[in-house]
Every structure is written in structure tokens, then in C-alpha cells.
Chains A and B, each alone.
Chain A
Amino acid sequence: MNGSAASPLVRFSNVSKSYDGRTRVVCDLDLDIARGEFLTLLGPSGSGKTTTLMMLAGFEAPTVGTILLDGKDITHLPPHKRGIGVVFQNYALFPHMSVADNVAYPLKVRGVEAADIKKRVDAALDMVKLGGFGTRRPAQLSGGQQQRVAFARALVFEPELVLLDEPLGALDKQLRERMQDELKQLHRRIGVTMVYVTHDQSEALTMSDRVAVFNEGRIQQLAPPGLLYEAPESLFVAEFVGENNRLEGNVVGEEPGGLRIRLVDGTTLLSGARQGLAVGTPVVVSIRPERIEIDGADTPNRLPAVVDRTIFHGDSMRIVLRLASGTELVVKLPNARSARIAANGTGVQACFGAADCRIFPKQVS
């Protein structure tokens, strides 16, 4: 294989990792990473996403399987020979070196000439908007500035692939959102392949070309953010990505518009179609909060409910409804319409379309 645009930059094939020989942290992973894409590994802690990243960086060795980079087997190549940029959660800037020396480190290691080093370090610092900060020590910079130095250091030697291990995790919310945007723009400008690990689903949705959702060592779904949000393939993905209402019931019949579901309190609803669910199968219905209307018109599903409480979120409102069964249903409304909100205790109808319901077979645990 050569570096043609069609072949993947990275290929995990049948990779498993176990630390103790019994439990597997990563199971039978097959994953292709395309050139130039921004791929996010998303999952709760302990799902194997960081271990996957560390195996790619070379800090952990797979127990079985192979990892190819640009067609070459790098499964057992030591990290310093891989030429992959890594950005760590705690920045990992060398405290005993100045900012410029930190950024120059990968170039010095590679024996680049001093004049060239200076030029490239200055360019890299300019790229992350830290021109003129070269003489400072990392400890004299703010968290966001330190993270930018870490980006500059990981990018200055022009690696084909950059790995980012929850790089924005330690920043406060506002700064994190600004850095997300900057990082995304940086990715678009230089076109480097980025693999990003995070447990923050909104971060994954905001930045990625594709998201791989990890759970218990396996990829649950690998899809672009929009598809992941609109068409989750499993209950785990539906619940982990975005907000979610969960109703339990049984399939009672098939209708032209989809499946008829009887909920535990006896009310029924019509959901989107799904193959392979026989009558009587226990299922979980998942509905996004922003897809529910209160007292809306012309929807096939209308569940009677009582307004329990209203939560103010600034740009939006969450209205918590209580169904007859006691199940809570969260409705998300943009703030513009909040004037029409019913008072607590009012009887209303929760209205939603059949296509807004995703149904998943209930897992017996």
C-alpha cells in the first residue's frame, strides 16, 4: 500500500487489549481512520477510548491484533519512531523549559538547523496566537495558553496524525467552547488528521467529522455527528449522545405508520418502524426533548401528562412532565416561546410524531 488518498491513514484490525489477561479493555477493534478527518472517540470512562488512543500513540501495546499507519505495521514500533503528535489532558509542557524551547523540542530532537528551528517555532506560536510568548515559562501562562502551546508543540514537526487526549478537559466551559472552535478551524486550515478522545458528547458533536462511540471496549456506533444524533443504532448511543426521554413498553402490533407500543401504564403510542421486533417484545422508546410539543396539533402520539416543574436554562427551558405511570418526560423549548408555559400542576398533552420515537429492544440485564 502507498499513501494514496483512498487508503486509510490508520487501520486497527482485530485489536484487543487486556492488562490482566482476563478482562479486555478493548475488544476486537476494527477501525479505519481516513486521511484528513477529525475523528472523535467518545465514551464514558473505562470504555476503552483512551486505551485505543494510547495504543495508537505507542504507549500501550495491543494484546492481539495489528495497527497500520500509512500501510506500515506500527503495532510494536516505539512511540518516538512513530512521528505522531500527541496533546495530553494536563498539557504535559516541560516545566523546566521556556515556551519556545518546548515548541522547539521535537525539532531539536530531529536535528533541524537552529535558524530553521527559530523560524518554525515562531510560525507555530503565531498559528496558536501566542507570538511573543516564547520566552515565558509554562507556569506563567493560563490554562488555555498552555494548551495552545501544547498544540503548537504537537503540530510544529508537521506530523500526519495528531492525537488529542481530552485536551480541553481542564478548561472552564466558556474557554472550552472557544478552544473547540479554534481547534476546529486549525484542523480545517492545516488539514492534518486528528483523533480526539473525549467523554463530553457535545464536544464530540461540535467538532468531529465522525464520532466513534465506545462502550465496554467496543465501538457501539461510528457515524457523522448528525446521523449519530438522529439515528442512534443502540439505546446506549441514544442515551449517551444528547438528551433523551426513555419510555418502556411492549410491541403490540404493526401498523402502516410503524409499530404500536403499549406503555406500562396502558397508553399506547405509534413509533417509527424497526425490523425484527416481534409482537410482545419488551422495548425502550427514546424521544429527544426538543421533539416533544406541549398541546401541539396533528401528531399521532398524544400522551396526557401534568406539568411538574420548569427549569430555566437561559437560551432554553426544560419543562418536566409527569405521565400517569409516574415516568417523567422532559420537554425542551427555546426561550422565545417560554411565555406560553403552563403553570405547575396543569394537565397537558405531550405530542410527538411517530418518526421522533426510536425504539430499541430492552436489554435483559
Chain B
Amino acid sequence: MLALMAPSVVFVCFLFALPIVLFLFRAIDNAEIPEALPRTTAAIAEWREGELPPEPVYAALVSDLAALRGTPQLALLARRLNYAIPGFRGVVTRTGRLLPQSMPESPKAALIAIDATWADPAAWGVLRQQSGKVTDFYLLSALDLKRDPSGSVVDVDRDHAIFVDLYGRTLTVSIGVTLLCVAIGYPVAAVMAQATPAAANWLLMAILVPFWTSLLVRSTAWVILLQNEGLVNKTLIWLGAIDAPLALVFNRTGVYIAMVHVLLPYMILPLYSVMKGISPSHLRAAASLGASPVRVFFTVYLPLTMPGVAAGATLVFVSAVGFYVTPALVGGPRDQMIGYFIAYFTNSAVNWGLASALGAFLLVLVAATYLVLGKLVGFERLKVR
């Protein structure tokens, strides 16, 4: 038994659980700064806030930067500090470039001469906050929060606040897609469950063939279908239903249409299997006991199909929350979901700390949804049969 399980356990541990833990750790990991500035981070701990740091701190920074000069680490440090203090990238690179070869008489005066930012106690305050081995900087950023120079948590400027909106948008779109999938998928699954085996097979094929097609292809196809000159608009104009093309793509409408299409099979398949398992004699019994068809539906059929609804809705919601490709292709700039930003910070901005923090909150979001759903409909119903 254990031996049979071992390969999958090892696989899951090393290729699933461990990478997730390591990546999540990046959300609080701050090794870059202490490694690049060992003397400064040691010296700055002695400094009191409110005034400029004493000469030894400046001296430590000068020797740290001197050691980094000419190495790629200087650029990395500059990028990292730029997250915390906008514009700091230039300050660090310039200081590194203009630093005198030997230790000046007054390192403080020398640094301030190179860049006036070094005379700003706020900048030093931020530098000290970021000098630990771990940091809450990324997690706070991912919640549109930051620490002010005095160390208390405050909101970021309205112009820079994007992430709270992003969670709200991700949740809204995911819940909307889930509800649409239930509304569209439930009747389809019910018809399939009642259909003759031959008809049910055709319907199943009609659902599975798109399901087997690449997500990228399907999302791109929607762009072609929904654009102003696309099939949908042309047909509607030809039918006389509309005069001017509807804006169906590169906005929220397009995101809903494409995501519902992509995720519908995840709703229909578990629902279908649950509905298939409902004995017709339950419905007949209810009818024989005097219940009208509407009453039979609400008192017997719907309750008995709830496990399927719960399983399908969970699958759709959890998948929707992490969607990236489809909104990126058919959505506008204001329709991007959390997955887009995780990809952006991982690939383009190379800010893995922030990407990890966003990933951590995505995980929290999904777990919270699962717990709430579990409390509402019961965990045993969330199982996919």
C-alpha cells in the first residue's frame, strides 16, 4: 500500500508542495539587501530615527557600495531599493559610479555631495526598515499598504493603489462566471441526463470537443468572433437587431463570454454525473405523492443535485480565480485578473517578491472560498464524484 503510494507522494512533495512553499517564502524573503550591504545593515541598527545617521553608517555604506562597484549585484540592489523608495535606482547607481576610490575624510559629506537623497532621514528610515532578513514589504504592497518612515502601516497613494481593486475584480469576475456557468450548465446537464443514450452521447461530444481544444485557440477564436467586424456583430446587423456593432471584446463582456465558454464543461460534467445518478423513481414517487412538477423540482430534484452544483461551482470558481490567458486576450486593460499581474511581476518586472505575495493572497482567497462554501453547503457535498 505505502509502496504503491510512494511515487505519487514523492512527486507531490518535491514537485508541488515544496516549490509552492519556496515560492511563498519569496514573499517575505529579504536576503538581497543584507547580503549586498552587510556593513550598512549592521551599523544602521544603532541609528535613532528623526535625524541623519552618524558618520560610521555613511562610512559603512561607502565601503559596501565600493565592494559592489562593477558587479551585477549593484544593479540588483538598485532595483530592489527602487521598489521601496521610487527613484532610488538612479540614486544607488549614480552613487556607486561617482564614489571616490578611497574612503573620503567625511563619508557623509561625500555621499550627500553625490546625491542629496542621502541627506533625507526618510530615505534612511526606509533603508533601515528593509535591512532585516525578512520583510513584510511585499505582503503590504500586495494589499496597497506601505510603512511610512516612522514604521507605521499606511495606505499607498491612490494613484499607486491597484491591488485591492484587483482582488475585488478577480472575485467579481469569478463569482459572475460561476453563476453564469450554473445558470447555463444546469439546464444543459439536466437535458443530457434525461436524454436517450444516443442523444446524450452527442451532447457529451459537443461539450468535450471544445474542452479538448487548446485554451489559447478558443480564446483567440472568441476575439475573431466578437470583434466589431466579427461574425456575431455582422450577423446581428444583418438580422437588423442592431445598427452599430456592439463592443463585445476587449472589455468585461468579452471576458465573461470567453471564460464562461471555457469553464462550462467543468460545471456540466460533475452536474451531469450527479443527475445521472438520481433515480427516476424518486421523481415519480414525489409526483405520486401529489407534488406538481415545479414542486418536485424544488423539493426533490434540486436538493438531490446540490452536490453536483457545489462540486461544479467549486471547480469553476477555483479555476476562474486563477485565469490568465483568456482575460489577457479578450479583456481590456481594466479587466485583467490577479493571474495577469502575477505573470507580469514574474516575467516582465522580475519582482518575484511581489509576485509571490500576490500568489499567497490568491491562495488565501481560494482557501477562504472553499471554507465558506464548505460551511454553507457541507464539505461532503464538495466532493467530485
Which A residues form the contact surface with B (CB < 8 A)? 57-59, 78-80, 82-86, 88-90, 92-96, 105-106, 109-110, 153-154, 157, 163
Contact = CB atoms under 8 A, between A and B. Distances in A.
Given A80-B291, A83-B290, A106-B290, A88 B303 contact: no
B310 to A, nearest CB: 13
A83 B287 CA distance: 10
B231 interface: no
A94 B288 contact: no
Most chain A C-beta atoms within 10 Å of own C-beta, residue among B286, B289, B292, B293: B289
A157 B279 contact: no
Contacts of B281: 88-90, 92
A92 B287 contact: no
B285 interface: yes
B295 A79 contact: no
Contacts of A157: 289-290
Given A86-B288, A95-B304, A105-B291, 13 more contacts: A57-B284, A79-B287, A83-B290, A85-B289, A90-B281, A92-B284, A92-B285, A93-B285, A94-B300, A105-B289, A109-B291, A153-B289, A163-B288
10 contacts: A57-B284, A57-B288, A59-B284, A80-B289, A80-B293, A92-B281, A94-B304, A105-B289, A105-B299, A153-B289
B305 to A, nearest CB: 10
Interface of B: 279, 281-282, 284-293, 295-296, 299-300, 303-304
A147 to B, nearest CB: 13
A86 B304 contact: no
Given A94-B300, A95-B304, A78 B282 contact: no
Contacts of A154: 288-289
B288 A96 contact: no
A309 B287 CA distance: 54
A20 B291 CA distance: 29
Contacts of A110: 290
**Which 9 A-B residue pairs are closest in the complex by CB-CB distance?**
A106-B289, A92-B285, A86-B288, A92-B281, A79-B287, A109-B290, A88-B281, A96-B303, A80-B287
Most chain B C-beta atoms within 10 Å of own C-beta, residue among A89, A92, A109, A153: A92
B300 A79 contact: no
A226 B303 CA distance: 48
Nearest to B307: A96
A240 to B, nearest CB: 26
Nearest to B282: A92
B297 to A, nearest CB: 12
A253 B285 CA distance: 58
A80 B282 CA distance: 13
A159 B286 CA distance: 15
Contacts of A83: 290
Contacts of A94: 282, 285-286, 300, 303-304
A82 B239 CA distance: 48
A86 B289 CA distance: 8
Contacts of A92: 279, 281-282, 284-285
Contacts of A106: 289-290
A86 B285 contact: yes
A154 B286 CA distance: 10
Most chain A C-beta atoms within 10 Å of own C-beta, residue among B279, B285, B292, B299: B285
B39 to A, nearest CB: 69
B284 A79 contact: yes
A92 B280 CA distance: 9
Nearest to B303: A96
Contacts of A89: 281
A195 to B, nearest CB: 13
